[in-house]
Structure 1
Amino acid sequence: MGRRDYEDDPNAPAANSLVPAASAVVVDDAGRILLQRRRDNGMWALPGGAMHLGESLPDCAVRETLEETGYEVEITGIVGTYTDPRHVFAYDDGEVRQEFSICFLARPVSGKLTVSEESTEVRWFDPAEIDALPMVSSIRKRLNDWRNGNIPAIR
């Protein structure tokens, strides 16, 4: 299914869906960041997706990261809350989703790089490399928020 992102676009379709979601900035011991190239829009992104009934948002981030990258992670903090009503995703099936996502900080505990049916590529990047990657601005904002610090610890 294809997806188109709209941010601050007066021609964007009206949202008809609001789905809780989680993503993760996964950082390894070498300081590299885990990213996936999305199949639906061809952009680099953090692992993440919609929360399922019966799971918490941190559990969602852990599950989505494993499904999309092959890595089991431990949540270590929160990068931020992202709920901009001027940012919507329009899917081929007619859903137009308003963003509502919590982005967590995580570290890998086990696994190996694995491409999923949602991605075409999964890689570790040095933080200096990510500025040149094609990605939607909301993902870039999360990465910049992480790089700028001030992330509260989860205990």
Structure 2
Amino acid sequence: MPASDYVTGLRAKTGPGLIMFPSVTAVVFDDRGQILLHQRSDNASWTLIAGMMDPGEQPADTVIREVEEETSVRVRIDRLAGVALHEVTYPNGDHCQMVNTWFRCRAVSGVARVNDTESLAVGWFPLDALPDLNPYALHRIRTSLAEDGPAWFAPPGDTMIPGW
């Protein structure tokens, strides 16, 4: 999905310089304990389903919307799993810092498929057979595994996510 009008408007003013955005990630499990991933169309890497919040949108609404938009899977949120700041530079040079909130989710309906232009492929993976994932994706998965664990956050003064 192309950038929202909001992001396009900001980029028109700032160019590729640093902008901070609120974003969300869905760590989606099915009934067999597999995790939902997609292969990004911009860099062909496998990762979790994620996206930027729209103005006025709650994080929980964003995560539900993003999963359905990208994969056609509908989810319920089980719990907040973590929050962290991370930097992203997109292939076009746009520099962002994302305040990312991730949620442990459960698939409730729909069949996983490529549902927009952001993905080359979508699939369910057993935890012991994940494709190559970056350390930040693995961190979000690890912190989401406990069904009732506390939400993860970086301790005050800590600037790095473990393994990132």
Report the TM-score range of the alignment, normalised by the length of the smaller protein: 0.7 to 0.9
Query: Residue in 1 aligned with 2:52?
Result: 50
Specify the SS of the correspondent of 2:62: helix
- Tell me the TM-score normalised to structure 2 length: 0.75
- Tell me the TM-score normalised to structure 1 length: 0.79
Specify the SS of the correspondent of 1:19: strand
Deviation at residue 152 of structure 1 after TM alignment: 4.1
Tell me, yes or no, if structure 1 residue 29 matches structure 2 residue 27.
Answer: no
Q: Pairwise mapping of residues 1-155 of structure 1 onto structure 2 (< 5 A)?
A: 16-84=18-86, 88-115=87-114, 116-130=116-130, 133-147=131-145, 151-152=149-150
Gaps of 5+ in 2: 4-15, 152-164
Is the contact made by 2:49 and 2:70 (CA closer than 8 Å) also made in structure 1? yes
- Deviations along 1:69-114, whole A, 9 cap, x unmatched? 1101111101111214xxx211244420012100001111111112
Percent identity (aligned): 33
Q: Report the RMSD for the aligned CA atoms in angstroms.
A: 2.2
Is the contact made by 1:51 and 1:60 (CA closer than 8 Å) also made in structure 2? yes
Once residues 60 and 73 of structure 2 are traced to their aligned partners in structure 1, the CA distance between those partners, rounded to angstroms, is: 15
- Deviations along 1:29-79, whole A, 9 cap, x unmatched? 111111111111211111110001121001100000001111011111011
Gaps of 5+ in 1: 2-13
Specify the SS of the correspondent of 1:20: strand
Once residues 99 and 139 of structure 1 are traced to their aligned partners in structure 2, the CA distance between those partners, rounded to angstroms, is: 14
Once residues 76 and 147 of structure 1 are traced to their aligned partners in structure 2, the CA distance between those partners, rounded to angstroms, is: 11
Specify the SS of the correspondent of 2:54: coil
